[in-house]
């Protein structure tokens, strides 16, 4: 039985690991934190695998969202640790400046707003699906989404113009 569970879980991770890592990256904001977040979520999912195997991806995503929000709460109580040198930044995609600017703007958003934007626009979930996943009302999702987008427009002047240019070039 354990061998079957291991095979099924390994197949799930091989098939959906990339997509789950993208979600974790959107939540965490950097590759290392995203990998840690995903690893912890997968460890929790593995412990419950016999119960969730048919519907594993939403379960793992829910763990990611809840663990990241819990991490934000814990980090807000910890002091920052300075480092001697800043890590190198890798730029991928058509406009690295826009990407970095948006990433920094997303990091400036409160945890709930960031989670709502990730679910609504990266995961392409409906307002109702997002509300169910976060355990809140649809109205809360709509208001948090509107506030987050308004804040992004403040932080990234000309965002609408930049994104429309980026979409045309794709």
Q: Please write the tens of the pLDDT for every residue from 46-69.
A: 999 988 877 899 999 999 998 888
DSSP string, 5-70: HHHHHHHHHHHHHHHHHHHHHHHHSSHHHHHHHHHHHHHHHHHTHHHHGGGHHHHHHHHHHHHHHH
| Polymer length in residues for the chain | 170
CB-based contacts of 65-69 (< 8 A; 24+ apart in sequence):
65/27, 65/115, 65/118, 65/119, 65/133, 65/134, 67/37, 67/40, 67/41, 68/24, 68/27, 68/28, 68/37, 68/111, 68/115, 69/111, 69/112, 69/115
The string of pLDDT tens digits covering residues 137-152 is 999 999 999 999 999 8
pTM of the model: 0.52
Q: Which of 96-105, 120-129, 158-167 has the highest mean pLDDT?
A: 120-129
pLDDT in tens, 119-141: 998 888 999 999 988 889 999 99
69 and 96 Cβ atoms separated by less than 8 Å:
no
Q: Out of 78-87, 114-123, 141-150, which region has the weakest mean confidence (pLDDT)?
A: 78-87
44/97 Cα distance (integer angstroms): 36
What is the Cα–Cα distance from 152 to 150, expressed in whole angstroms?
5
Chain centroid, CA 110 distance in Å = 13
Q: Is the pLDDT of residue 113 over 50?
A: yes
């Amino acid at each position: 039985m354990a061998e079957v569970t291991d095979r099924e879980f390994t197949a799930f991770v091989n098939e959906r690991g990339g997509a789950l890592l993208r979600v974790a990256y959107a939540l965490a904001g950097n590759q290392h934190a995203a990998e840690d977040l995903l690893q912890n979520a997968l460890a929790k999912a593995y412990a419950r695998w016999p119960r969730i195997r048919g519907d594993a991806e939403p379960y793992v995503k829910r763990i990611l969202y809840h663990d990241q929000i819990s991490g934000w709460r814990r980090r807000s109580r910890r002091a920052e640790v300075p480092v001697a040198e800043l890590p190198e930044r890798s730029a991928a995609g058509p406009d690295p400046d826009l990407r970095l600017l948006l990433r920094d703007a997303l990091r400036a958003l409160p945890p709930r707003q960031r989670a709502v934007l990730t679910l609504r626009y990266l995961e392409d979930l409906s307002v109702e699906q997002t509300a169910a996943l976060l355990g809140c009302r649809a109205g809360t999702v709509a208001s948090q989404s509107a506030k987050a987008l308004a804040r992004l427009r403040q932080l990234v002047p000309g965002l609408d113009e930049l994104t429309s240019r980026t979409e045309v070039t794709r």
